[in-house]
Amino acid sequence: MRSGVAIFPGSNCDRDIIVALKKVTKKIPLKLWHKDKEFPNLDLIVIPGGFSFGDYLRCGALAARSPIIENIKNHVSRGGALLGICNGFQILIEAGILPGSLIRNKNLLFTCRETTLEIQKTIKSPFTEGFELGCHLKIPVAHNEGNYFAPKSLLDQLSSEGRIAFKYIEEKDVNSDIDYNPNGSCDDIAGILSKNGRVLGMMPHPERAINSLHGGTDGLKFLTKCIENIVG
């Protein structure tokens, strides 16, 4: 299992995901720099969260035009797995690797808290196949522009093609005034897949839930299953 983490100026979750990947794969992931035009073939590339290029112009817009992106696209066309977390998800959308857009949170607040995700019925994908349908994961979010927006035709297409990986869900036994959907995303979408299921973009941060001191380890569970299925 060879993994790599693509780092841009302003990425700030790169070290966290490196720690998480190291914990799961027992190997140190390769650090890739945004200017890298060449790197060895990898099984998984992660684009971490942060504020690449200071979120200038639009979140992820400048990173999505970096030299490394061409190579990441080649990695995807070879069938390599690609995971974009938070700002990484915004970069995948700006690069046209995933469809739709991520706009300002509905409540205009930078939202940093735990959310509950429900695994959806999807096409075959290493990112979801390790989980039972409807299984819940508690993973935190931390973002200002995570409100997934797409025209209804695209939402219908994503749903019918089984490309919605997970949705924010209300926990039945919890009485809370806080909206279970942290950003107002269309259809409560928290993460989507590419057509071949090998690319996942998600707003929540699994690398921030890998240690009981984080308040939960569902992120570790999620990453472990993903790695198992990417290799398998």
Partner 1 sequence: MRVIVNISLKEGVLDPQGQAIQNSLSNLGFNNCNNVRTGKQIILDFQIDDKEQIITETKKMCESLLVNTVIENYDIQLEKET
- In the complex with partner 1, the residue whose CB is nearer, 131 or 148, is 148
- In the complex with partner 1, the residue whose CB is nearer, 107 or 157, is 107
Q: How far is the CB of 106 from partner 1 (least distance, A)?
A: 6
Active site residue 132: no
Residue tagged active-site, from 86, 94, 143, 145: 86
Residue tagged active-site, from 59, 143, 207, 226: 207
- In the complex with partner 1, the residue whose CB is nearer, 44 or 97, is 97
Q: Say if CB 71 and CB 82 are below 8 A apart.
A: no
Using the Cα atoms of residue 168, residue 170, residue 171 and residue 176 in order, give the sign of their dihedral. Answer: positive
> Which residue, 99, 84, 38, is CA-closest to 200?
84
Active site residue 205: yes
Residues in contact with partner 1 by the rule CB under 8 A: 57-58, 61-62, 65, 94, 99-101, 103-108, 147, 149-150, 184
For β-strands 111-119 and 199-202, DSSP reports them as: unpaired
Q: How far is the CB of 146 from partner 1 (least distance, A)?
A: 12
Active site residue 207: yes
Element of type H or E holding 2:
none
Q: Say if CB 96 and CB 61 are below 8 A apart.
A: no
Q: How far is the CB of 143 from partner 1 (least distance, A)?
A: 14
Q: Say if CB 183 and CB 147 are below 8 A apart.
A: yes
Element of type H or E holding 60:
none
- Catalytic positions, please? 86, 205, 207
